[in-house]
A and B are shown apart, each in its own frame.
Chain A
Amino acid sequence: MSESTKPIFPGVSLDPVQRLRALAAGVRGAAVTERVIDASAETVWAILSDLEDGFGTVQPDMRHVHITRRDGENIEAIARSAYGMRARLRGTIRPGWCWPQSRFLIIGVAVTPEGAGAQCRVAMTGGIRIPGHAALIPIGVRREARKSLDRLATIAI
């Protein structure tokens, strides 16, 4: 039997929000919260991808983020929460996609253009991780994401 992984026909690719829905399905306790925002994907992404500044305005619990290493789309960062906890994050950041993780934290953010492009769809997931597992402590995950998306909508438009 052939085990070829090479495409034979032109295929389709998942947009960042579709990717997030798929990955979140593999994280127990995760919820994906989505919002259509009246701003372009570029505008919104400029805020979210600015991890050391803009991201903190959307997610105030993340008081300080410092990127310690960047290699193409792979990053490592130290994040401090408003409660003093420290997280060593590593993961991927590319246009429309941010998936940094630590032993105690999972963060996932995706942005994709919606309709003609004047709007965009933003999806978030994440929360406190059960250490070493693809699983979250399922407390307040939707509430926190809704708050973040409310703030983002206010900042972006």
Chain B
Amino acid sequence: MADDDGVRERAIALAGAAKRGDTVAMNRLLDALAPYVGTISASIALDHGADAAQEAMIVIFRSLRGLRDPHALFGWVRQITVREALPIARREARQLPDELEDIPARGDPQLSTDVGDVMAHLSPEHRAILLLRDLEGFTEEQAAHLLQVPRGTAKSRLNRARGSFRKEWES
């Protein structure tokens, strides 16, 4: 979409300027990336999403000089954000996901709220694989690389995550 492309192109241009040491561009780049990083972080780390987003942004700006091709910005940002959010989600959750039967019955709010409610009751690993494969459109191999697990593990994890999601969604 045009708006989406505009945001992306602007962020890429800002990343190029920020890489060259323009600190005003760094500030604008943070503005441009914040919604994207905030969404991924919240999807995986839930209530600790703000902590995850901060850690991801710290790594992004500390590593920005190492970004070879600014056109790869969003993939690179996504990779860092997922890798920062997962350990925080694991550390803070340190618990099995709720039994699906315990999930409150769905009301009639907006679709995204329903999806978010169901996602919130999955484990961080399941949320991450669903986000990457079904929402972000990564291939199995790319998702496995991002999550640093073998391809077979990513595949079986996705099957289990989809099963859990579907069961609750249809209940």
Contact = CB atoms under 8 A, between A and B. Distances in A.
A134 B64 CA distance: 11
B4 A11 contact: no
Interface residues of A, number: 33
Contact of A7 (B23, B39, B57, B59): B39
Interface string A1-25: 1111111111111110011011101
B24 A11 contact: no
Given A12-B38, A25-B61, A3 B8 contact: yes
B142 interface: yes
B23 A19 contact: no
Interface residues of B, number: 48
Contacts, number: 123
A3 B76 CA distance: 11
A41 B104 CA distance: 38
B131 to A, nearest CB: 8
A92 B24 CA distance: 8
A13 B38 contact: yes
Interchain residue pairs A-B with the least CB separation, the first 3 = A26-B61, A11-B38, A22-B57
Given A8-B112, A22-B54, A22-B58, A92 B27 contact: yes
A14 B24 CA distance: 18
A122 B156 CA distance: 47
Given A8-B135, A134-B18, 8 more contacts: A11-B43, A12-B42, A14-B54, A23-B27, A26-B61, A27-B23, A27-B26, A134-B26
A3 B74 contact: yes
B62 interface: yes
12 contacts: A5-B8, A5-B36, A5-B74, A8-B39, A8-B43, A8-B112, A10-B112, A13-B50, A14-B30, A25-B59, A27-B26, A92-B24
